[in-house]
Amino acid sequence: MTKVIPVILCGGSGTRLWPLSRSGFPKQFLVLSGKISLFQQAVSRMTEIPALGNWNLGRAIVVTNEEHRFLALDQLRDLGHSGARLLLEPLGRNTAPAITLAALQALESDEDPILVVTPADQTVTDTSAFAKVVASCLELVNEDTSCKTIAILGIDPLGPETGYGYIHRANDIGEHGEYVVEQFVEKPDLKTAQSYLKDGRYLWNSGIFVLRASTWLAALEQFRPDIAKATQKAWQVKNIDKADKATFVRPGEKEFTQIPSESIDYAVIEKCPSSAFPIKMVTLNAGWNDLGAWDAVWQVGDKDEHGNVCSGDVLFSDTSNTLVHASTRLVGAVGLQNMVIIETADAVLVADKSKSQDVKKIVAQLDAQKREEKNLHRKVSRPWGWYDSIDEDSRFKVKRIHVKPGASLSLQMHHHRAEHWIVVKGVAKITNGDQELTLTENQSTYIPQGQTHRLENPGRVPLELIEVQSGSYLGEDDIVRFEDSYGRQ
């Protein structure tokens, strides 16, 4: 049986889906369509492939970063996929180095498997149709004894979209439903996109492709030897870290910073037509959408009789073709047409649906003003659970803290703040200087400034407590860690 390895590229920040998507909890980890996150959808779609051929589906490779590693791990565990391999990039270098890391990992663990490479931030409504198209691509790649063929999934355009790149295919169709790719073209203006739609031989580039691990490395060596050499160098000095019962693989940080930043398309894929690496396209008609902006989320949502899509506690009156997402409060929409309203605990977006792409301009302003709303929600996920910043001022901050059963925070201290802890649910095991305490509901303790301390949940139910911080500086960077179960510094 031929070994097949799913590769999930789990980077990016999804700035056009702010305020729900933020750099600390980006688009791919959100539930925007269906009942699981886009990342979980990407992983789950792969499980149907083995039933359609003689394929041995191996452990997935997830390429992500340090900040999101435990988000990815938790969501994999929710699916029962805790065996996936997580490659951690120390910083973003675009998708070409990311897939190179995955290819190197695949060749180290398996004998030149076929990789099915997909972004983590797309949705597909018909997973059976998706699996059939991927199976056709696998046949194309597997039948090529020269190990040079690359197969890509193309999407029949639903309109003259200017936000996608296009694949220009030839006329003749092969036995697996494939077309030879003649050319890749960049995101067009509206007039050009309309001409593509009329021509009928231009399809949207899904960013999903199938090839052998060795094929990618050989093509990269031919077209971008600088990226190939630099990534190999970073891989050779990788380290493997086991934390929270998971294995994380890290390329050398210093070496990784020297890798040129480039996308898969620019580095290799767009250079393949008419080269030694033939690239073929199979059409995917399976309800694909990359959910690149809020208007796309509206397009795939379940609409009422007036074309409205809602999530959360929402009331409509005299409103049509509008998207409302309420995260924490009741939202009422009156007399609106073609609008987007996104409510979170600390930010609200109101936009004309046709201007959805321009949300990134608000994010740019937040970045220029160094506002925390660009990066984090009020409720922040951590490997041990989460915290929610309920209230704060210049000299105090109040948090609700949730610790998963069996989890613990790091052994730590703070230079500039003291903390009061009040248990409201579960049992807390607390290290407070030289003391070890066990507290239950309605019991509390005080952690003086500069005191070494740790919070643990020894029980089988979640632990929740209220933390009141006081001091001259209350930033999250005022943490000195002495011991940590999750490998954090």
Q: Using a pLDDT cut of 90, give the percent of the chain over it.
A: 85
- Distance of alpha carbon 250 from alpha carbon 264, whole angstroms: 20
Show Cβ contacts of residue 147 under 8 Å, excluding neighbours closer than 6 positions.
112, 212, 214, 215
Ordered by where they begin, the domains of the chain are: 2-289 (3.90.550.10), 294-366 (no CATH), 379-483 (2.60.120.10)
DSSP string, 401-427: EEE-TT-BPPEEE-SSEEEEEEEEES-
The tens digit of pLDDT for each residue in 288-300 reads 999 999 999 999 9
Show Cβ contacts of residue 84 under 8 Å, excluding neighbours closer than 6 positions.
43, 59, 60, 61, 62, 76
Low-confidence winner among 237-246, 322-331, 358-367, 431-440 (lowest mean pLDDT):
237-246
Burial status of residue 403 (CB atoms within 10 A of its CB: 0-12, 13-18, 19 or more): buried
Quick check: 266 pLDDT over 80?
yes
pLDDT score of 322: 98
Quick check: 195 pLDDT over 90?
yes
- Distance of alpha carbon 141 from alpha carbon 209, whole angstroms: 11
Quick check: 460 pLDDT over 80?
yes
Mean pLDDT across the chain, nearest whole number? 94
- Distance of alpha carbon 63 from alpha carbon 144, whole angstroms: 27
The tens digit of pLDDT for each residue in 96-130 reads 999 999 999 999 977 899 999 999 999 999 999 99
For 151-169, what is the mean pLDDT?
93
Residue 137 carries which DSSP code?
H
Strand, coil or helix: 203: strand
The tens digit of pLDDT for each residue in 49-78 reads 877 778 999 989 999 998 899 899 999 999
pLDDT score of 237: 97
For strand 166-173 and strand 202-212, is the pairing parallel, antiparallel, or unpaired?
Answer: antiparallel
Quick check: 156 pLDDT over 70?
yes
pLDDT score of 208: 97
The tens digit of pLDDT for each residue in 382-408 reads 999 999 999 999 999 999 999 999 999
Show Cβ contacts of residue 175 under 8 Å, excluding neighbours closer than 6 positions.
none
pTM: 0.92
pLDDT score of 479: 95
For 270-288, what is the mean pLDDT?
94
pLDDT score of 244: 65
- Helix axes of 213-223 and 225-236: crossing angle, nearest 10 degrees: 130
Q: To which H or E segment does residue 38 belong?
A: helix 38-45
For 303-307, what is the mean pLDDT?
97
pLDDT score of 141: 95
Q: What strand order describes the sheet that includes 463-471?
A: 379-382, 385-392, 396-403, 463-471, 417-425, 444-447
Tokens describing residue 394: 């210049």
Confidence tier at 81 by pLDDT (50, 70, 90): confident
pLDDT score of 345: 95
pLDDT score of 196: 94
